[in-house]
A and B are shown apart, each in its own frame.
Chain A
Amino acid sequence: MSKLMSAKTKEILLGPLAKNNPITVQVLGICSALAVTAKLEPAVVMGISVTIIVAFGNVIISLLRNTIPNRIRIIVQLVVIAALVTIVSEILKAFAYDVSVQLSVYIGLIITNCILMGRLEAFAMSNRPWESFIDGLGNGFGYAWILVAVAFFRELLGSGTLFGYQVIPQALYDAGYHNNGLMILPPMALILVACIIWVHRAKDKELQE
């Protein structure tokens, strides 16, 4: 195991969580990140789905990397991703129907999530399967935690619930507290991501433009 977890693989796994985060630094996969974050539950499901798909997509492409002709590699990558997404979507429909209805088209849109193409093209095409797998996991987690963070604030402030359970005590509402309806609307997702970027870049001066 020590060989499997060398310093380099650790960097591959942990880098995307902060320094090389797919959303806030590489600016990939923003569409779905913003659209599914009004509630925590779909955000978590989305994060897990993307992590699984990017990890296994990376492994498959990495195994095939020497046999794919360069000219048609985009099509091959798309077919691999589309097949994985179809599997995940059918599984969700079977076991978590409510969530899959909430996610609606955004599950299908994982296919065109730039994180996938970005990682396959930039990493899996030139690295071995194990490292590609780790890279996929790292990027998936990096994507997932932003989603969860944004969804946490939107659900908490917008509906006063977490995972559908009420967390803001009734007494507060009686005292005149109101849910912030703006939080549920699309623009607030953008503002929250902007705030995360702001904090992140204020801490890490290297990332500033």
Chain B
Amino acid sequence: MENVVSIFVRSIFVDNMIFAYFLGMCSYLAVSKNVKTSMGLGIAVIFVLGVTLPVNYLLENYVLKEGALAWISPSLKTLDLSYLAFILFIAVIAAITQLVEMVVEKFTPALYNSLGIFLPLIAVNCAIMGGSLFMQQRAFVNIAEATSYALGSGVGWLLAIVGLAAIREKMAYSNVPAPLRGLGIAFIIVALMSMAFMSFSGLKI
């Protein structure tokens, strides 16, 4: 249980998806122009991560890993399907994103309209796929750890995008050099935020 909490906190602050690994940058930069929309996207990311990662964890441990299929019959003990990981992970992610899109369209049409093209694009959001690949790399011991990692990463992503959106809203009033306006200054802000987040890296949890 202690471990679960520590993974959760670490994945928000120390291993932040955006500031430490740059995952999900495309939608991060494109949607962070106002706080409300970015909040919506952040919540969608938490949700999709929280659902896909445990599913992929089960897939990894009961289908893909070397010897993972031994529960069907002992003769499959030597089978190693891990080269199929990319295709299966992305298929799971695409299917679940489709599901989320349908749910959001049905229940909150306003949010659906403001998220526009970016909801289907969550399927190709690196943060989601990256979460699954990091899960595979780090070999979590049980599904609770994997889930807490997923939720922590999602919360970290939400924090990052809402923070950037808030700064960019205020930036509308500042006089930025013309060539840096928009994208350029956004990069620099993310860099500064990332430096600020690096101060968490000494955190011992």
The answer for the CA separation of A79 and B191 in the assembled complex, in Å, is: 34
B26 close to A28 (CB less than 8 A): yes
Q: Say whether B125 contacts A112, CB under 8 Å.
A: yes
- Whose C-beta in chain B lies nearest to the C-beta of A78? B90
Question: Is there an interface contact between A34 and B126, defined as CB atoms closer than 8 Å?
Answer: no
Taking the closest CB of chain A, its distance from the CB of B64, in whole angstroms, is: 12
Interface size on B, residues (CB 8 A): 47
Residues of B37-57 whose CB lies within 8 A of A:
none
Distance to closest chain B CB from A119 (angstroms):
12
State which of A156-164, A168-176, A182-190 sits at the interface with chain B.
Answer: A182-190
Decide if A126 is an interface residue (CB 8 Å cutoff).
no
Q: A104 to B137, Cβ gap below 8 A?
A: yes
Contacts of A189 in B (CB 8 A): 22
Question: Which segment of A54-62, A80-88, A133-141 sits at the interface?
Answer: A80-88
B90 touches A82 (CB 8 A): yes
Of the candidates B19, B83, B126, B134, the one whose C-beta lies within 8 Å of that of A112 is B126
A31 at the interface (CB under 8 A from B): yes
Judged by a CB distance under 8 angstroms, whether B109 is at the interface is no
Report yes or no: B133 in contact with A190, Cβ–Cβ below 8 A.
no
Alpha-carbon distance between A30 and B126 when the two chains are bound, in angstroms = 10
**What is the interface of chain B, defined by CB distance below 8 A to chain A?**
19-26, 29-30, 83-87, 90-91, 94, 120-121, 123-126, 128-130, 133-134, 137, 177-185, 187-188, 190-192, 194-195, 198
Closest A-B pairs by Cβ, 3 of them: A190-B191, A209-B182, A201-B179
Known contacts A85-B86, A109-B133, A199-B179, then 11 further A-B pairs from the complex at CB < 8 Å, ordered by chain A residue: A31-B24, A31-B26, A75-B94, A78-B94, A78-B124, A86-B83, A105-B137, A111-B124, A111-B129, A198-B180, A201-B179
